[in-house]
Amino acid sequence: MTMKLKNVLFAGALALTLGACSSTPAASSTPTSSASSAKEEVATEGHYTVSNVSGKTITELYFYKTGSEEKGTNYAEGGLDKGATITVDITVDEAEAEGYAMTVEYLAEGAEEPVIVFDNLHLETAEMFLKKAKDVTGGATPFSIVTTGTYNVTNTTGAEVKELYFYQTGSEDKGENWAGEGLAADASVEVNVEVEKEAAIAGYNMTVEYVGEDGTSVVVFDNLHLEEANLFLKPAADVEGGATPFLAAE
């Protein structure tokens, strides 16, 4: 009787032990990881390809921290010719890189006042075009250049125009005859011109020339820029007298 009781107690203890082992949670096979937020990298360098399309030689060119009185390096030292291109590289300390803004300023030969091209330039890689002062004050962006021109041309000569050309000043190739089979008196035609970016940077000027009904060739203008404009072809006598092609005859 005593032996039987001991066996029962032993069996009960063993069952409790096995039950406790089976209820122990299994160790997780998935490693725990702590979330880490990587700090966003801030640019400390800026690289700018700068082209002078102002039409004049630039004697001073500065890229400096907006608000600073110290302008630093003159990147046009020795003169930056019209149509010329240079590379400007800027490096700042990491401590001041975040939110760093620069002013770009140039002074053209013969000018008394500098031109503020941009006052919120960030550290980046970009193309910039130094434009005429009047274009800058008119809101022209320094980050693109005009490569097209659109002209609404009206024949106010009083007779048919047989030929009409828009060609690069100095070129012997006059290109397309925009008068087609003839531009009647008081008729209009739209002329669209597109050039390569390199040509625009170099300073693309056009000559406008027409041939009248009597075969006379008339140079209307020899310094036309890429733009949108209305042009009026006037009689040869008026052109020789200095009449502007940009205003209709009164």
The answer to whether residue 181 is domain-embedded is yes
The answer to whether residue 23 is domain-embedded is no
Domain boundary among 115, 137, 159: 137
CATH code of 53's domain: 2.60.40.2190
Residues 106 and 181 in one domain: no
Give the tens place of pLDDT for each residue, 46-79: 999 999 999 999 999 999 999 999 999 999 999 9
The answer to whether residue 39 is domain-embedded is no
Domain boundary among 105, 137, 169: 137
The answer to whether residue 247 is domain-embedded is no
Residues 108 and 152 in one domain: no
Q: Taking a C-beta distance cutoff of 8 angstroms, is the pair 246, 224 a contact?
A: no
Residues 64 and 132 in one domain: yes
Give the tens place of pLDDT for each residue, 72-103: 999 999 999 999 999 999 999 999 999 999 99
The per-residue pLDDT for 91 is 97
Residues 117 and 168 in one domain: no
Tokens of 57: 């030689």
The per-residue pLDDT for 26 is 46
The answer to whether residue 168 is domain-embedded is yes
Contacts of 10 (CB under 8 A, 6+ apart): none
CB atoms within 10 A of CB 106: 26
Local confidence band at 249 (pLDDT 50, 70, 90 cut-offs): confident
Residues 106 and 65 in one domain: yes
Residues 152 and 236 in one domain: yes
Structural domain containing residue 209: 148-240
CATH code of 171's domain: 2.60.40.2890
The answer to whether residue 96 is domain-embedded is yes
Tokens of 169: 């000043």
Tokens of 191: 């002329």
Q: How far is CA 212 from the centre of its chain?
A: 41
Residues 132 and 51 in one domain: yes
Local confidence band at 15 (pLDDT 50, 70, 90 cut-offs): very low
Residues 119 and 158 in one domain: no
Give the tens place of pLDDT for each residue, 100-148: 999 999 999 999 999 999 999 999 999 999 999 999 999 999 999 999 9
The per-residue pLDDT for 39 is 57
Tell me how many domains the chain contains.
2
CB crowding 108-140: b at 16 or more within 10 Å, else e: beeeeeebebbeebebeeeebbbbbbebbeeeb
DSSP state of 76: T
The answer to whether residue 55 is domain-embedded is yes
The per-residue pLDDT for 41 is 85
The answer to whether residue 35 is domain-embedded is no
Domain boundary among 137, 171, 203: 137
The per-residue pLDDT for 205 is 95
